[in-house]
Structure 1
């Protein structure tokens, strides 16, 4: 059996149900993946997926969420064929949170935006395609095969569950 190298990541879309806004982070080019994205990042070895999501959300935005309050939405994977590497992202929505947004956040400016405003914001194409699934019923699985991160998808599949 072939050993597969992978990085496990999380992403949390915080949804303010009263205002209808969602929290995104405007990442500068120097941080990689410039534009607006959901908060998230790498899961540490001793963390559960939810614990990693909560930590990344706190580090990037200042908001606190209880892991039990996260709503699991699905997984997406990016398979880089040139590198023989796989990135796997566990996706969550949070509607219960507390705290204040960080000023001078290390990963970029956290900002509340309306769902209507999202269409006009600069963001990575993979995130723009994935974002609607956070607000649909059920969960999702997305698999994208790429030669490398700069290439167009060679193969892409989306599966909705529930």
Structure 2
């Protein structure tokens, strides 16, 4: 079996306790609200891919970007590993696009954002962008049955290792 890797980014943009989300239509996949991001082009760096994707999808140029963690999805039947590098941006310049390519843009209070329609995987990852430290999430995905068959979650904050809520 050939192993394939895909690299993606996701960048939560935070300003005055509001986040910028995209309401993606069904036709683009992953419908509902989501943070900007997308595929990393070879040979660009992962962080440069995050900055480019935010600019292409929102019109904003992010200045202060913080690495928050990795979420990966493995499909054993196909040999595909998709890795999503997650960032938080707290400073930017520019104006929002009038006709964004990925869907309508919405600034919303961080606490209200979780009430919006969004994919389950994004809803569970959402609070991790604002938690101190970094995270790793690794999921084994059965695409045929549309289920997760295995999952590992780890959190690293203040020099401590946390796994599924337990500090070690």
Cα offset, 1:82, TM superposition:
2.6
Secondary structure of the corresponding residue to residue 47 of structure 2: helix
TM-score by length of 2: 0.89
Structure 2 segments unaligned to the other structure (5+ residues)? 158-168
- Residue equivalent to 1:112: 107
Deviation, 1:115, is: 1.6
Which string of whole-angstrom CA distances, capped at 9 and with x for unpartnered residues, describes residues 113-149 of structure 1?
A: 1122223211110000111110001000000111118
Cα pair 1:140 1:159 within 8 Å, conserved: yes
Matching residue of 1:21: 18
1-side partners of 2:97 and 2:55: how far apart? 9
Distance 1:149 1:136, change over 3 A: farther
8 Å Cα contact 1:83/1:148 also seen in 2: no
Q: Give the whole-Å Cα distance in 2 for the aligned partners of 1:107 and 1:138.
A: 29
CA distance in 1, matches of 2:86, 2:148: 21
* Aligned residue number for residue 9 of structure 2: 10
Asked whether the 8 Å contact 1:12–1:92 carries over to 2, the reply is: yes
CA contact (8 A) 2:22 2:105 kept: yes
Moved over 4 A (4+): none
Distance between the aligned counterparts of 1:138 and 1:24, measured in 2? Answer: 22
